[in-house]
Amino acid sequence: MGYSCNQKNVLHVLGALEAALIRHKAAVRPGRAVQAALDVYLKGAAAGD
């Protein structure tokens, strides 16, 4: 995916997107996107990826 698509940057983008959506009154559940991404990263780490 490229150098910039690392875990830290992905989590930052998801957090920023969530904040922007909340600011614009979108119906989002705070923390869900970041938690889902962390779950995927943890699953990959457990599998040895």
User: Would you list the domain boundaries of the chain?
Assistant: 7-46
Asked if 24 and 4 touch (Cβ cutoff 8 Å), the reply is no
Asked if 18 and 34 touch (Cβ cutoff 8 Å), the reply is yes
* Residue 33 pLDDT grade (very low, low, confident, very high; cuts 50, 70, 90): very high
Closest CA to 37 of 47, 24, 1, 9: 9
pLDDT at 39: 97
pLDDT at 48: 80
- Rounded to whole angstroms, what are the CA distances from 12 to 17, 37, 46, 47, 48? 9, 11, 22, 24, 24
pTM score, whole prediction: 0.81
DSSP code of residue 3: T
pLDDT in tens, 3-26: 888 999 999 999 999 999 999 999
